C-alpha cells in the first residue's frame, strides 16, 4: 500500500531525491514529467517539477544517467533518461548507505527516554 503524504521534510527529501530518481529510472526509462508523476504516485505528493528536473540534469552531468530524445505525438520531443553503469554503481552504494543510515537512526530513536526524563525532572 502506498501512503500518500502531503508534506515531507524538504531537507530530508533533498538528501534522498537522487537515490529515488536513480531507483525509479533503473526500474523504467522515463522522461522528466513522467518521473515526477511516478514520484508522486509513490507518496511524494509535494515534490515539485522544478526540483526534479535540475536533479536529473545533475545526475546526467555526473554520468549517472544517459538521455535520448524521443518524438512525441502530442508535442515536442521528450528527453528520456536511463541509468548508466556508473548510475547502477551509485544506486547500489546509495541503497547500502541509506540502509546503514536508517539502521543507525532507528538504533538511536529506539532507546528508551524514561531515564533521561527522570534526570530532567
C-alpha cell at 36: 515526477
Which segments of the chain are extended strands (E)? 30-31, 65-72, 75-83
For residue 116, report the phi and psi dihedrals to the nearest 5 degrees.
-65, -40
15 near another protein, rule: CB under 8 A: yes
Q: How far apart are CA 91 and CA 94, in angstroms?
A: 5
Q: Which three cell numbers stand for residue 121?
A: 525532572
**Grid coordinates 508523476 are at which residue?**
37
Of 1, 7, 73, 76, which one interacts with another protein (CB under 8 A)?
76
The reply on whether position 38 binds another protein by CB under 8 A is no
Is residue 45 close enough to count as binding another protein by CB under 8 A?
no
Query: Is 71 near another protein (CB under 8 A)?
Result: no
| 77 counts as binding another protein under rule CB under 8 A | yes
Q: Which of 2, 6, 50, 110 binds another protein (CB under 8 A)?
A: 50
From 1-9, 52-60, 106-114, give the range in contact with another protein by CB under 8 A.
Answer: 52-60
| Under 8 Å between Cβ of 84 and 67 | no
Q: From the CB of residue 26, how many other CB atoms can be counted at a distance below 10 Å? A: 14
Interface residues toward another protein, by CB under 8 A: 15-19, 31-33, 36, 48-51, 53-55, 57-58, 61-62, 64, 72, 74-79, 90, 93-94, 96-98, 100-101
Amino acid at each position: 500500500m502506498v501512503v500518500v503524504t502531503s508534506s515531507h521534510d524538504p531537507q530530508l527529501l533533498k538528501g534522498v531525491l537522487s537515490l529515488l530518481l536513480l531507483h525509479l529510472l533503473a526500474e523504467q526509462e522515463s522522461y522528466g514529467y513522467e518521473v515526477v508523476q511516478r514520484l508522486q504516485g509513490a507518496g511524494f505528493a509535494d515534490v515539485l517539477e522544478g526540483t526534479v528536473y535540475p536533479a536529473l540534469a545533475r545526475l546526467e552531468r555526473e554520468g549517472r544517467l544517459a538521455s535520448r530524445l524521443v518524438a512525441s505525438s502530442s508535442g515536442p520531443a521528450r528527453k528520456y533518461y536511463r541509468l548508466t553503469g556508473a548510475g547502477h554503481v551509485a544506486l547500489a552504494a546509495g541503497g547500502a548507505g541509506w540502509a546503514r543510515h536508517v539502521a543507525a537512526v532507528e538504533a538511536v530513536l529506539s532507546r528508551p527516554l524514561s531515564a533521561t526524563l527522570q534526570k530532567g525532572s
